[in-house]
Structure 1
């Protein structure tokens, strides 16, 4: 009896302990109370420790942490390169020069993005990349230790050209082109051809260029830059400006066609300039190259429409890899066998034909190509800036180059305004389209150095003309890219009608994403 009662009292007392507040457990005569008190005090002591672990953090966060992390990544990339290739990663080596130009261009682009002027749209980052390469070349102490072999530089720029052409080919939307019909073709072809012809005339009489070089320079200047136009149009479209008449879609679609025409014309002139023989022979030679390009691009494009098949895994990755490797091989291989310009047209045809069959998967492939472009863009503009040396420029070269670019640009804008007449646009909209059709960047960054590299390899006696072409291309980017971006951002909200139907804006944004 005593044992049973004592056990029941112990159980009742234990139940009482678990249900009472810790502050009421103060009886020192009870062992059970003491044990409970010890357990509760332990838990109370451990709570602050857990709290400290939860809220303890690295002392450096935010921008400073990002800078230190990226700096360590840069150092480790250099250490890895040096441990594998040795002197190539040291000052004066090619890979050291590429790393410095690459990271300097990225920093220049980021720095330009940080510059915010009230009521003024942001400047394109490619301008900062171009200036970074220009400073590396023209600062005496730095230029002594930064060197990139001309052959390696040419290969990188050709790969960048290939990526641009792939994006242009994939960006051509057959439905949008069919919907816009004549206006899109008029806007893409007219200003490009007229500006190329006007630049040829001005460069022949002002810069004393032969007619072959004059038209080659004209097609270098004739292309508009999607890298400036497309982001600016997307921003206006998101805010509802000009979407009722499809002005942003029109400009984005026509920019790709404009580049295709300019690059094709440049390649034709390049083959004429650096080939021997009569004019008739050169024309027939160019026609043969075009036919070979169209045939090869069509065959490879139809091949990529069905291989790999849609039941395979990692479909978009395989398609992106095949497009890149085939197109880079076409561009570099055509130069190797002497078919100048054939690879570029083959790339455009291949990517366009293949993209028409991929439907929704096309956007995933475009994203892969965009990621590749993010790598080659700073290299391209950094290397282009590094090609321009102030010390080698003649006193009057800059002045006559600026005059040629300015006069050709005026002809282009006036032509654009005239061609947009009778297309259903108001006076303000035609002025806006004419101003938005002036930025130049990506195509000029590729084609200008390409003429210089070709002259160095096959015709050193023509290197002086090619250097002038390079200078004009550099100045065209420097003048038109920032001014064009500013004009689009400032004039767009003032001259375009704003449409507030959000459902239609979303629908147009989806179609634009498919296009780009």
Structure 2
């Protein structure tokens, strides 16, 4: 069994690498090639991936997400955080809530759901995809694009908290449904959203304080990186193992990286370089396994209704992004780029799509189909849109400007 696991992981990694390279050659984002490979070899089509590997996929996806969010935190400076604070907060709240409640209302006439069923579907779909958005933003940071106004950093922070809000509201409405529609705890659940975010920020800061002396007295940069990355993985494991709703481990990981970048300055560039090396491998498995979770066969029956639902909800989401950016110094092109970057769905939808059906929610199979449809439509559009518009709509920072 271990032999099959080992061989399959090597082959998946090689296949994802070459499929990604192929799509880069035709000027498309590599992640689309990796996701398509996963979809083709996964359960929906060829079904040649061993079960032992599929069972490991949630763990591997988590490791890859932790990697990319830690890198994201290491890429945000204190000056940039001050610059992006208000719009990042608004980006984390307005687009997701607008989209989620729009779907909740539209699902009533279009799918004959009640409001609670619609809200369950709405907040599965409402989360932006960290798997698509965050690697793209890290690439822009590396290429010093959009740095004059810290646009990639703003989207990184906003998207991380956006997921917290969408997932919290999804679990809230799912809980209301399973309790037979009783709503005494909904106010408390909504109050838990800012508490969860604040607690996540606090845990990230506390971990930095606890590990700072250890990092200062460790000479090997490899051991320092192993300590930091190990802490990030343990955080994710604890949240998943104990189903903790009080904090978002992925947001905590990003904040932990932010503190290391800004207050353990000597070590941060070396840690970042090593984490980037890990990410080169991690992204192969993240996107391949996201592709394996996609089942296009579910989509056909609800394709037209699903497309209509998504067109309206994404329009409202885009308006939410523009509202969040009111009062900033972004140009029209930069605002449009932010709208495009906030379109893709993938990770949360792949992970949550089957939960309502598993829990016996009426219409669960419809929810799963439309959630999968949202991935199939928005992940390529968002990834291609970011690639096509980033160099044209955002400013490239010169090395001289970046050094000040």
- TM-score bracket relative to the smaller structure: 0.7 to 0.9
Q: Deviations over 1:263-308 (max 9, x none)?
A: 211331343255465544466467398276455444323212x232
Structural mapping, 1:216-255, within 5 Å: 216-221=123-128, 225-232=133-140, 237=145, 246-247=148-149, 249=150, 251-255=151-155
**Cα distance in 2 for residues equivalent to 1:133 and 1:127:** 10
Determine if contact 1:405/1:472 at 8 Å carries over to the other structure: yes
Structure 1 unaligned spans of 5+: 1-86, 116-121, 512-516
**Cα distance in 2 for residues equivalent to 1:311 and 1:454:** 46
**Cα distance in 2 for residues equivalent to 1:447 and 1:328:** 18
- The alignment partner of 1:143 has SS state of coil
**Cα distance in 1 for residues equivalent to 2:122 and 2:136:** 25
1:505 matched residue in structure 2: 398
Return the offset for 1:419: 5.1
The answer on 1:372 being equivalent to 2:278 is yes
- The alignment partner of 1:438 has SS state of helix
Q: How has the CA–CA distance of structure 1 residues 420 and 144 changed in structure 2, closer, same or farther, with 3 Å as cutoff?
A: closer
Return the offset for 1:485: 1.9
1:106 matched residue in structure 2: 17
**Cα distance in 2 for residues equivalent to 1:186 and 1:293:** 17
Q: How has the CA–CA distance of structure 1 residues 181 and 340 changed in structure 2, closer, same or farther, with 3 Å as cutoff?
A: closer
**Cα distance in 2 for residues equivalent to 1:192 and 1:89:** 43
From 465, 481, 485, the equivalent of 2:387 is 485
**Cα distance in 1 for residues equivalent to 2:257 and 2:52:** 31
From 346, 351, 355, the equivalent of 1:450 is 351
1:38 matched residue in structure 2: none
TM-score (norm 2): 0.80
Return the offset for 1:383: 1.1
The answer on 1:123 being equivalent to 2:33 is no
The answer on 1:214 being equivalent to 2:126 is no
Return the offset for 1:166: 2.0
Q: How has the CA–CA distance of structure 1 residues 382 and 203 changed in structure 2, closer, same or farther, with 3 Å as cutoff?
A: farther
Structural mapping, 1:61-460, within 5 Å: 87-90=1-4, 94-115=5-26, 122-137=27-42, 142-144=46-48, 146-180=50-84, 182-183=86-87, 185-186=89-90, 189-203=93-107, 205-207=109-111, 210-221=117-128, 225-232=133-140, 237=145, 246-247=148-149, 249=150, 251-273=151-173, 275=175, 277=179, 278-281=182-185, 284=188, 287=192, 290=196, 293=200, 296-304=203-211, 306-314=212-220, 316-340=221-245, 342=247, 343-390=249-296, 392-417=297-322, 420=325, 423-425=328-330, 429-439=331-341, 444-452=345-353, 459=359
User: Greater CA radius of gyration, 1 or 2?
Assistant: 1
Return the offset for 1:313: 0.9
Q: How has the CA–CA distance of structure 1 residues 266 and 417 changed in structure 2, closer, same or farther, with 3 Å as cutoff?
A: closer
**Cα distance in 2 for residues equivalent to 1:346 and 1:184:** 16
Bigger drift between 377-386 and 346-355 goes to 346-355
Determine if contact 1:199/1:221 at 8 Å carries over to the other structure: no
Return the offset for 1:225: 1.0
**Cα distance in 2 for residues equivalent to 1:454 and 1:347:** 26
Q: How has the CA–CA distance of structure 1 residues 358 and 234 changed in structure 2, closer, same or farther, with 3 Å as cutoff?
A: closer
Name the Cα RMSD after superposition.
3.6
**Cα distance in 1 for residues equivalent to 2:323 and 2:144:** 24
Between Structure 1 and Structure 2, how many residues are aligned?
Answer: 390
Return the offset for 1:110: 0.7
- The alignment partner of 2:341 has SS state of coil
From 374, 377, 382, the equivalent of 1:472 is 374
Return the offset for 1:468: 3.7
Return the offset for 1:477: 0.3
Determine if contact 1:439/1:485 at 8 Å carries over to the other structure: no
**Cα distance in 1 for residues equivalent to 2:349 and 2:106:** 18
Q: How has the CA–CA distance of structure 1 residues 207 and 397 changed in structure 2, closer, same or farther, with 3 Å as cutoff?
A: same
Q: Deviations over 1:233-279 (max 9, x none)?
A: 76574xxxx77xx34x2x11211111122121133134325546554
**Cα distance in 2 for residues equivalent to 1:215 and 1:267:** 10
Which is bigger in relative contact order (C-alpha 8 A, separation at least 6)?
2
**Cα distance in 2 for residues equivalent to 1:410 and 1:266:** 17
TM-score (norm 1): 0.64
Q: Deviations over 1:428-467 (max 9, x none)?
A: x3144214431368x84321222147568x7366863345
Determine if contact 2:201/2:251 at 8 Å carries over to the other structure: yes
- The alignment partner of 2:351 has SS state of helix
Return the offset for 1:170: 3.0
